Every structure is written in C-alpha cells, then in structure tokens.
A and B are shown apart, each in its own frame.
Chain A
Amino acid sequence: MSISPDVKKSLADYKHTSLFWTDLLYLMSNRQQTLTATGPFRKLAVNSKKIAVETIEMNEDMTEFNTRLSAYYKQLSDTWNDAQKEYSRKVPELPNDIEHMDASKRVWIDIFENYFTKLFDSSDFSENFGKLVTSELEIAKHWNNMTSALLESANMPTKKEMDEVYKELHSLRKRVAKLEKISNKGGS
C-alpha cells in the first residue's frame, strides 16, 4: 500500500500554499516584529517561522505514517481473521469436554502462532514495518527540530550541539586511551 499520485499532488499543493503564506506572513510582519520584539526574545520571533515550516513538513510525513500504520494494522487483522477461520474449521473435530480443554487450547495457540509467525517472517511485513518506523523517525526528526528551535531561542544547548560535545568527548577518550597504552609500554 502506498500513497496515490492524486494524494501526493494535493499534499504538494498544500505544502506549497502553506509555505508560501508562512513566508509571506513572516516577511510582512518582520518589520513590526523587529520593532516590538526586542532583546533576546527577538530570537523566538525569528524561530517561530522555523517551527511553522517544521509543522507543515510534519503533516506531510504524517500522511506516509498513517498509510504505513493502516497497512500494518491490516496485516495484523487479516492474519487474525485467517487464523480464526482455520480454527473455526477445526472446532467441530475437537472433543468438547474438560479432559480435552488443554488440547483444544493447544490447537488454538498453534494455529494462531503459525499464522502470525508466517506474517512476521514475510518480506511484506518487514518492508512495511521498516517504512513505518522510518516514517515515525521522520516525524521524530521534525519534533526534534522544533524543540531545537525553542531551545535555541532560550539560549540553551540543542540536541545537535550536545551531540557535538559527545562526539568530541568520544574522540578525546580514544586519544587518552591510546596515549595511556603507549605510556604503559614505555613508548614515546
């Protein structure tokens, strides 16, 4: 299941229109904002456009996410229905008394386990699941960017800046460990 060309086109139109008005409103209000928003809070006014753009782009990714999520639930419900049909076919053959309760339960579990394992082993499932997670990550990325815009406005370190620190620390640790090894061996 993927997004149809018609939906893609209307999404692109929506995105273009939204971005156009976001830009224009930003430009039109720029002077007034500059006059009224002074000092560090000026940054928040500037970043508000970034947040608006991220929201528009996130909406686009939400469509892909919903498509993948619907396909995921469809796979689960179709498999459940097929397994249930198979079990219903077997029910008349099963003795209906307490002594055979465990055996009946075993049959039910085996049938459902087999159907679902087959689904989870299929490339249809893993492909859709992979794309579902990817679309969720795209949404998370926009969320991260919006949070970064707010953090930036408050003069606080963003995720990206923190990651630069982690990267630097990681590289420093490696260099120290290397130097320690050399000095322990009495080398230069």
Chain B
Amino acid sequence: MASEIRIDPKLLAEFIKLNKNIMEAPNLAKSLEEIDLETTPYEVVYSEGKVRLLHFSPLVSKQVKTPLVIAYALINRFHILDIHPKKSWVRHLLNQGIDIYLIDWGTPTQINRHEGFDDYVNGYMDNCIDFVRKESLSDKVSLQGYCTGGTLSTVYTSLYPEKIKNLILTAPVIDGRRDSTVVSNLAKHMDVDKLVDTLGNMPPELMYYVFSILKPFEQGFEKYLNFFKNIQDKDYVENFIRVEKWVTDTPPIPGELFKQWIKYVYQENLLINNNMYVGGKRISLKNIAMPLLTQVAVGDHLVSPECSMPIHYAVSSEDKTMKIYPTGHVGMIASSFSQKKVLPEFAQWLTERSEK
C-alpha cells in the first residue's frame, strides 16, 4: 500500500502566495541605490574636515527663539532622524516652529584616526555650537544627543554649561558597567589598543558584525519574511527599504575616539564616576545644571535603559525629567509611536523651556 502525504490546501495556498510575492518583489520595491534618504530640505551652513553642520529649512514660522542642535550618533548616519516624511523626527519638530541644526559627522578616513573626544567635543562640536549661537543671535542653544551623540553631548555640556540652555539625551551611552546589552559584553573584552594600532579606524564591517548578532532570527529571518508577505503594501515596502538602506550604511569611527569611548565608558566606566578627562579637563557631571530631559526605551537592545538612566541622578539640574517608553532604540526616534507619543512630549518640554 503506497503511503500518502496529506498537505493542508490552505498551507499550500499560503506557500504559493509567498512565492508569487517573492517573484513580484523586484517590480514592487526599489533597490537601495534608487532610494534617496534625504526628505526634508537643509542647507550646509558650516563645515570642518568631514563634519558638516546642517540647518533645516523652516516649514512654519518660528515659534521658539532658542535653536536646537542635534548631535547625531557616531554609528550609521543622521538620515534615521528624517527617514520618512511621516516618521521624521526633524520634520515633526520643524512643524512645531523649532529651529533645527544637526551635526553630521561625515565619513572619517585614515587621516582622522588620531581624532578623539578632545577633537570632537572641544573642536567640531564647540565650533558648530558657536556658529549656531552667532547665526541665531542666541547666547545659548538647546542640545539633543542621540545614542553615542548623547555621550558627546554630555561631555560637551559638562565642559561648556554656559552655552547650553536645555539638554536632551535620547538613549545616551553613559554607564557602561550597568549596560546589559550584547554590545557592552563584546566591548568589555575587546583589545581596543591592538585594534586601533593595527587597523587605524574602527571598520564598518566589525560594527556591522555587532549589529548582526542582535536578535539574529527576528532581524535576519522574520523581518525579510514579513517584507515578502507585505510586498503589496506600498507604504510598508517604502519604509522597509529606507530603513534597510540606513542600517547597512555605517561609517568608520576614528580610531582614537573609538578607543577612548570603549575604554572610558565601557571598560573603565570613567564618565559616570566623574573621572574622565578630555583635553586635560575633568568631566564632572555636576556641571550639568540646566533643564535635562532623558529619554530611554525599555526594549533598547543597543543601549540598555540601565546604561542611560544614571545620568538623571548624576547631574545637579533641579529641573530634570526622565521618560521611559515601551519601544526600542530606533522605535523611539523613527516610528509611528515616536510621532504620537515621544515627539509631542519632547516638543512640549522643549518649548516650555526655550526663549520665545
């Protein structure tokens, strides 16, 4: 008697549909090369080496005099803050009448390998902020730092508190000892001296490895399965390709800066203990006395909330707020949730504390 294999017809139909979607995908989705990630117009108002200061064109009349300077992270590029017109961090704030400048760190090459915190904070950041103060006729600016940009912003504000009116830290990397992520686990066992001596800058391939082991099955399998399942949904596909393009494009990190960041923040944990020195000056978090907003995400698998939250308790600001959101590292800045919840609260907090 021949054995019979029974397959649920619904299962077969589902399988055929998925295959059809895979075949049709090239006709329905753009390639990464065909996507332009820049959605909101800006002007490059200042540049120094590879670093550019972008000034976004206002979309409505200015409601707030104090300009906002955003220090983006050192990993990937700033486009995530303006990834899609409907999910753009920048566009949302422009629509609230906030004047926005953004520091784009550019693409460092070997010539930048000796640049460290001193060059980034006392050089690039300070020059950019001085430029904004001069151009906007404001003594002080509001400063927002995202991820590693949050670390740089914290160090900057500790050194130049007189130039900062409000400080906003979004998933900042602060207390490496408390960080429970895979990134931190790898960072703690890295021979960073040898890496920098041999390779110069931290290469993008190694950065990409670290990201690829974060949720490898969800991000490496399910995500793509869902993409093919939703291939007929134009908005979904557009957003997917935009985020993928952003994820795969990460610049190298200058060797000296990477070395200091891994050692000072993850291995020796100097920043939170007020023992970090930049340009010969000690970074005391007590110097941060202006209003502070700390934003953390419960599901952040790149910078765990325990790593960011200690800044709230370490500063001497009396006006300080901590917001904890049920989302992830990217979800906090580029998602529908961010537009509905994170940004309205951010804009309100900032507007209330800025010069009109």
Given A113-B218, A116-B217, decide whether A130 and B11 contact each other with a Cβ distance below 8 A: no
Closest Cβ of chain A: how far from B276's Cβ, in Å?
19
Q: Is the CB of A120 within 8 A of B185?
A: yes
Q: Complex Cα distance A120/B180, Å?
A: 11
Q: Complex Cα distance A161/B176, Å?
A: 35
Q: Is the CB of A130 within 8 A of B191?
A: yes
Contacts of B30 in A (CB 8 A): none
Q: Is the CB of A170 within 8 A of B216?
A: no
A126's contact among B115, B185, B217, by CB below 8 Å, is which?
B185
Q: Is the CB of B189 within 8 A of A127?
A: yes
Q: Is the CB of A121 within 8 A of B217?
A: no
Contacts of B200 in A (CB 8 A): 163
Q: Is the CB of A126 within 8 A of B198?
A: no
Closest Cβ of chain A: how far from B15's Cβ, in Å?
10
Q: Complex Cα distance A170/B112, Å?
A: 8
Q: Is the CB of B216 within 8 A of A129?
A: no
Question: Within residues 134 to 188 of chain A, which ones have a CB less than 8 A from any CB in chain B?
Answer: 134, 137-138, 140-141, 144, 162-163, 166-167, 169-170, 174, 177
Does residue A109 face the partner (Cβ distance < 8 Å to B)? yes
Closest Cβ of chain B: how far from A97's Cβ, in Å?
6
Question: For the side of the interface on A, what is the size category?
Answer: 20 to 34
Closest Cβ of chain A: how far from B325's Cβ, in Å?
21
Contacts of B198 in A (CB 8 A): 137, 140-141, 144
B99-110 to A contact mask, C-beta < 8 Å, 1/0: 000000000001
Given A117-B182, A140-B198, decide whether A133 and B218 contact each other with a Cβ distance below 8 A: no
Q: Complex Cα distance A122/B115, Å?
A: 32
Q: Is the CB of A109 within 8 A of B190?
A: no
Q: Is the CB of B216 within 8 A of A116?
A: yes
Contacts of B114 in A (CB 8 A): 166-167, 170
Given A117-B215, A141-B198, decide whether A134 and B191 contact each other with a Cβ distance below 8 A: yes
A130's contact among B111, B123, B189, by CB below 8 Å, is which?
B189
A97's contact among B8, B113, B123, by CB below 8 Å, is which?
B8
Does residue A101 face the partner (Cβ distance < 8 Å to B)? yes
Q: Is the CB of B185 within 8 A of A121?
A: yes
A97-114 to B contact mask, C-beta < 8 Å, 1/0: 110010001000100110
Q: Complex Cα distance A101/B215, Å?
A: 21
Q: Is the CB of B119 within 8 A of A109?
A: no
Q: Complex Cα distance A174/B186, Å?
A: 33
Does residue A4 face the partner (Cβ distance < 8 Å to B)? no
A79-95 to B contact mask, C-beta < 8 Å, 1/0: 00000000000000000
Given A126-B189, A127-B189, decide whether A137 and B194 contact each other with a Cβ distance below 8 A: yes
Q: Is the CB of B14 within 8 A of A101?
A: yes
Contacts of B194 in A (CB 8 A): 134, 137-138
Given A98-B10, A123-B185, A174-B119, decide whether A133 and B195 contact each other with a Cβ distance below 8 A: yes
Contacts of A167 in B (CB 8 A): 114
Given A109-B217, A137-B191, decide whether A98 and B8 contact each other with a Cβ distance below 8 A: yes
Closest B residue to A98 by CB, please name it: B10
Q: Is the CB of A133 within 8 A of B190?
A: yes
Contacts of A122 in B (CB 8 A): 185
Q: Is the CB of A140 within 8 A of B199?
A: yes
Does residue B188 face the partner (Cβ distance < 8 Å to A)? yes
Given A98-B10, A140-B198, decide whether A109 and B123 contact each other with a Cβ distance below 8 A: no
Contacts of A123 in B (CB 8 A): 185, 189
Closest Cβ of chain A: how far from B194's Cβ, in Å?
5
Closest Cβ of chain B: how far from A78's Cβ, in Å?
16
Q: Is the CB of B123 within 8 A of A177?
A: yes
Does residue B16 face the partner (Cβ distance < 8 Å to A)? no
Closest Cβ of chain B: how far from A182's Cβ, in Å?
14
Given A98-B11, A113-B217, A126-B186, decide whether A166 and B191 contact each other with a Cβ distance below 8 A: no
Contacts of B206 in A (CB 8 A): 133
Can you show 24 pairs from A to B with CB atoms below 8 A apart? Answer: A101-B11, A109-B217, A109-B222, A112-B217, A113-B216, A120-B185, A121-B180, A126-B185, A126-B189, A127-B189, A130-B190, A133-B206, A134-B194, A137-B191, A137-B198, A137-B199, A138-B194, A144-B198, A162-B110, A166-B110, A166-B111, A170-B114, A170-B115, A174-B123
> Ordered nearest first, which 9 A-B pairs have the shortest CB separation?
A130-B189, A98-B10, A170-B114, A126-B189, A120-B182, A126-B185, A137-B198, A134-B191, A112-B217
Give A residues with C-beta under 8 Å from B: 97-98, 101, 105, 109, 112-113, 116-117, 120-123, 125-127, 129-130, 133-134, 137-138, 140-141, 144, 162-163, 166-167, 169-170, 174, 177
